[in-house]
């Protein structure tokens, strides 16, 4: 059993939020039911799973944590942050020949009205055992009205061991792998994508946008929309989107040559000098129904003006 760390009582419409430590991370519940768990052990990198929507259905693919959904790309674990070229090391894919992110622990759990936040620290290690960089992640879960949920994710990448080059590749970076029904293609697919620029479905891939929504019926047949917002302070904002028809849904600020089909394969490289750091901020909004662009614009403006630590 975990130790309850934070409790916020709110109105019945928003919900009661609790958090408890686990052996390898932290579990967050809304009204006594699991919303998500930050899992720091048992995989090549930390991830959040599940991601439960207003109807109680999980909105991310169960595989490889459980049976369910197409059994491809086993490194696509629900909700995660990684990149495929860091000083030439692939931290995106699984395998002994690739880098791994080692979870160091959870701290700084805080409570607020209808929300819980925590910090998680991580070290990135190459296949040769070399420590390459560190990061600190702040995750905040908010229970909103009528069953909506919000996850704010801010990650500070620190060049603690010397210069770090984030290479230009489409394989990254802030990512969700959607459940089968929210995918565009594949068994059980009934989903769609739409961006802030009006691009739809397959046309979203490789294009820049302030936000992108994945929407459709959840596993219970209820309409739901999951939107990722890119904060204006982020690198390359508005970001490119590595959003695939089979359910991968990722914001990638480093993939310029891949997305824009440039000859220069280093066009999107970003260098952190020794001792420097950079912070990236994202918001995930989960709501019943279909995306409302006017409402999403208002959410984006609020996200842009608010302080995300």
Provide the pLDDT for residue 14.
77
Please give the full DSSP string across the chain, using - where no structure is assigned: -PPEEEEE---TTT--EEEEE-SSEEEEEETTEEEEEEE-SSSSS-EE---B-TTS-B-B--TTTSS-S----TT--SEEEEES-BTTB--SS-STTS-EEEEEEEEEEEEETTEEEEEEEEEEE-TTS-EEEEEEEEEEEEE-GGG-EEEEEEEEEE-TTS-EEE---SSEEEEEEB-GGGSSSSTT---EEEETT--BGGGGTT-B-SEEEEEEE-TTS-EEEEEEEE-TTSTTSSPEEEE-TTSEEEEETT-HHHHHT-S-TTTT-EEEPTT-EEEEEEEEEEEESS--HHHHHHHHHHHHHS---
pLDDT of residue 10: 36
State percent of the chain over pLDDT 90: 91
Mean pLDDT lowest among 174-178, 230-234, 302-306: 302-306
- 267-277 confidence digits (pLDDT tens): 999 999 999 99
Residue 5 has pLDDT above 60, yes or no: no
pLDDT of residue 4: 43
**pLDDT tens by residue, 68-121:** 999 999 999 999 999 999 999 999 999 999 999 999 999 999 987 899 999 999
pLDDT in tens, 11-63: 344 788 999 999 999 999 999 999 999 999 999 999 999 999 999 999 999 99
Q: What is the pLDDT of residue 146?
A: 86
pTM, entire model: 0.94
pLDDT of residue 9 exceeding 90 = no
List pLDDT tens digits, range 125-149: 999 999 999 999 999 999 999 899 9
């Amino acid at each position: 059993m975990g130790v309850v760390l934070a409790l916020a009582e709110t109105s019945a419409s928003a919900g009661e939020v609790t958090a408890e430590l686990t052996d390898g991370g932290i579990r967050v519940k809304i009204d006594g039911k699991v919303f998500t768990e930050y899992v720091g052990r048992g995989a090549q990198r930390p991830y959040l799973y599940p991601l439960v929507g207003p109807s109680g259905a999980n909105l991310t693919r169960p595989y490889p944590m459980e049976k369910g959904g197409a059994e491809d790309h086993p490194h696509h674990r629900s909700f995660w942050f990684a990149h495929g070229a860091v000083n030439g090391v692939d931290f995106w894919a699984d395998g002994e020949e690739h880098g791994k992110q080692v979870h160091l622990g959870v701290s700084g759990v805080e409570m607020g009205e209808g929300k819980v936040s925590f910090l998680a620290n991580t070290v990135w290690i190459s296949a040769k055992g070399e420590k390459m960089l560190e990061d600190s992640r702040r995750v905040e879960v908010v229970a909103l009205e009528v069953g909506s949920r919000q996850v704010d994710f801010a990650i500070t990448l620190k060049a603690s061991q010397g210069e770090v080059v984030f290479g230009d590749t489409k394989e990254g970076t802030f990512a969700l792998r959607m459940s089968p029904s929210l995918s565009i293609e594949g068994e059980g697919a009934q989903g769609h994508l739409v961006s802030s620029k009006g691009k739809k479905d397959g046309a979203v891939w490789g294009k820049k946008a302030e936000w992108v929504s994945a929407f459709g019926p959840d596993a219970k047949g209820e309409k739901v929309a999951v939107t990722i917002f890119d904060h204006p302070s982020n690198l390359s904002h508005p970001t490119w989107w590595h959003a695939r028809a089979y359910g991968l849904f990722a914001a990638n600020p480093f993939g310029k040559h891949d997305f824009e089909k440039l000859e220069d394969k280093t066009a999107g490289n970003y260098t952190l000098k020794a001792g420097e750091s950079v912070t990236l901020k994202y918001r995930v909004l989960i709501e019943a129904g279909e995306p409302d662009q006017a409402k999403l614009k208002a959410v984006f403006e609020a996200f842009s003006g608010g302080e995300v630590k």
